Amino acid sequence: MRKFIILCAAWLGGWGLPAAAPLPDILIADFEGTNYGGWTATGTAFGPGPARGTLPNQMRVSGFQGKGLVNSFYGGDRSTGTLTSPPFKIERPYLKFLIGGGGFAGETCMNLLVDGKHVRTATGPNTRPGGSEELNWQSWEVREFLGRTGILEIVDRATGGWGHINVDHIILSDTPAPRWRENVQRQFTAERRYLFLPVKNGAPKRWVSLLVEGRLERDFDIELADAAPDWWAWVDLRPFAGKTLVVQVDRLREDSQALELLEQGDAPKGAQPLYREPLRPQFHFSAQRGWLNDPNGLVYHAGEYHLFFQHNPYGWNWGNMHWGHAVSRDLVHWEELGEALYPDALGTMYSGSAIVDYRNDAGLNAPDSPAILLFYTAAGGENRQSRGQPYTQCLAYSTDRGRTFKKYERNPIVPNLTPGNRDPKVIWHAASQQWIMTLYVETNRVHSIFFFGSKNLRDWTYLSRTEGFFECPDFFPLAVPGETGRHLWLLTGASSEYMLGHFDGRQFTPATPKLPGHLGRDFYAAQTFSDIPPADGRRIQIGWLRAPAPGMPFNQCMSLPLELSLTNTPDGPRLTMWPVRELAKLRGQPIAAAPLDLVPGAANPLAAARGELWEVRAEFTPAPGAVFELKLRGAEIIYDAGHQELSVNGHRAKAPLREGRQRLAVFLDRTTIEVFAADGLTYVPLPFMAKAEEQGMHARMRQGQARFETLAAYPLQSIWP
């Protein structure tokens, strides 16, 4: 009879009749609370409650669900303990869970106990240096224990490397955890401009390799979507047109649709049209897709300003460092050209600089075409191809006006000095007739800038060092106002703090202590343009504004282009930063309300101004102790003349009156606000997102009065087509 029933079931399945639907899963624990609830902890490894992701000094933890998980790295790998569940009834044939961390049986594991006996156990995957903190699905078949009571025990008894365990989302289920496929491939012929990749923010990272006719051309990690993506990244296929491509993913669940979702196309793919996304900055440069940070290689050549930048084309967060590339003819409107430098066997592409080699000192020019040279850090060990390689300094060049770049065949040009040496900035020093490279180097836990000299841009000799600056150096002269022919050299690092001093072609001699640059927040790693024509004479800088764009397929933006100068103060020459004049072409018809005397209780002179994107200019002479307030789409800018202090959304900065006057410039974009005061001595950049319903502005005196020579609000146009 039993055989007859089985055969009948098989025949019914063959006729296409539906099988019984799986019963709903039963959640045992998701660890989303602030404590462990009914679970009992011993020792210290599991902390006071579930971790919220990665713990201090731990590699990035991924693959867990929600916001919380069990993570026994609390206190580091030396801590130990156990975490035991309350009893539960086993009501499904499978118990599924996410697990990662150490792979030591009996020491970093999760056990199932039935009737006090260990009947199942699982560990993480890692036992050696390296590895990943990613959690993956495992399951136990527990059919034989249906109806009985079980207890889970999560154990951390290990104290060495990988001496911890990560667990999340434990469920009873009718189905087992999906199995894994290794090195899964899909083949294409490159027929369109782009290959689109589905991205799910927060998904476990997968390594993707692009092989072109058997040769590895691209290799990167990506939060690959197994089903519907949050957004689409892309690979530029133009260099491989007509060739056979193989996309290989290191590991995919058997139910993943990631490879099936890959497709080619000729126009960017996304839910919103490019540059029309809700949080897209409208007059600050941002990358089309993915993460952006440090500006790199700012250089002017053949009528174009070149902006290179640290770029992860495949993720919303930092990683996979490439050099992205955009150009502009007016410092306002930008065209993104794609990636200029890709990671290679020496490392990922960290920050650096660019020059135009008009004299052909490097010997890389083409006839009638001076080369643009890029100097960059190859960050060894930051990608799979460069495991075991150190950080070194390298060279790439272009002889087609910066449209394509070739890496110098004898890279690196500066070997590794200490771990993490990086960010070469190269300039021409006319007085000593040599090229100078400044480079960040940490020695004996001291942050330093090393100076090197070269005649041919390929061979570099150590000259000297200056201590006290961290990352992304820049070095250039600025004219001292009122003293014809005199200039001071400015040395700065990523924080924008600076020293003024003298340079003799070998040694920088400071004439000032380290001074603050910007006075805001989240402005970092700024760089100035090389090779701006002498007829222009300006020193123009762009910085990275750390202004997130949550929910968008891109993240972060650049600052406004800033003109740098020196001005005389009672303390000596000091740096000023002011928005470049070219930005005025974005202005619409102003709401102007000056000249006027403004007193407390007066009508709002800017009441007619309503809109999204704004530039506000004010020049006024305040009475002693007067306080002026400007509210702009919810942002609050206050100038206190008594304390000569500027406040932007509660962030305070000194802003002295200049000959009794104050001059303000305010730029408000979708994710940023930048405020300039005191003729540029005060620059306050901040991330800020106005609410959609906040459209107006209000100008008033909180106390005292002021005479306004200028008070105007300009609606601004978008820089994007």
Which residues are marked as active site? 294
Element holding 259 (H helix, E strand): helix 258-261
- Give the separation between CA 301 and CA 306, rounded to whole angstroms: 8
Residue 123 phi/psi, 5-degree rounding, is -125, 170
Written as six digits, the tokens of 228 are: 């519907």
Q: 585 forms bridges with which residues in the sheet?
A: none
* 356: Cα within 13 Å, side-chain hemisphere: 21
> Which residue type is seen at 721?
P
Could you tell me what percentage of the chain is helix, strand and coil, using 3-state DSSP and rounding each to the nearest 5?
A: 5, 50, 45
The H helix count followed by the E strand count for the chain is 2, 54
Whether the Cβ atoms of residue 151 and residue 110 lie closer than 8 Å to each other: no
DSSP structural state of residue 24: P
DSSP-assigned states of every residue in 231-250: EEEEEE-GGGTT-EEEEEEE
Cα separation, 74 vs 71, whole angstroms: 7
Burial 508-543 (b: 16+ CB within 10 A, else e): beeeeeebebbbbebbbbbbbbbbbeeeeebbbbbb
**What would the two tokens of residue 709 be?**
């020579």
Cα(683)–Cα(3) distance, integer angstroms: 84
CB atoms within 10 A of CB 411: 17
Tokens of 146: 């249906």
Give the number of C-alpha atoms closer than 13 A to the C-alpha of residue 411, restricted to the C-beta side: 24
Q: How many CA atoms lie within 13 A of 598 on its CB side?
A: 29
Alpha-carbon span 382 to 642, nearest angstrom = 52
Name the DSSP letter for residue 172. E
> How would you write 543-574 as a 3-class SS string?
EEECCCCCCCCEECEECCCEEEEEEEECCEEE
Tokens for 408?
Answer: 């110098």
Q: For residue 589, how many other CB atoms are within 10 A of its CB?
A: 7
DSSP code at position 469 = -
Residue 578: phi and psi, rounded to 5, are -145, 145
Read off the tokens for 315.
Answer: 């993720």
Q: How far apart are CA 254 and CA 37, in angstroms?
A: 34
Please enumerate in sequence order all residues whose Cβ is within 8 A of that of 676, keeping only pairs 6 or more positions apart, or say none. Answer: 577, 578, 579, 664, 665, 666, 682, 683, 684
Task: Find the helix or strand (DSSP H, E) in which 459 lies.
Answer: none
d(CA 134, CA 136): 6
Can you read off the two tokens belonging to residue 447? 């942050």
Q: What H or E segment, with its residue span, contains residue 307?
A: strand 304-312
**Among positive and negative, which fits the CA dihedral 459, 465, 471, 476?**
negative
| Structure token pair of residue 87 | 């009893």
User: Between the CA atoms of 573, 527, 407 and 432, what dihedral angle is there, to the nearest 10 degrees?
Assistant: 0
Contacts of 12 by beta carbon, 8 Å cutoff, 6+ apart: none
Task: State how far the Cα of 203 lies from the Cα of 401, in Å rounded to an integer.
Answer: 39
DSSP per position, 323-334: EEEEEESSSSS-
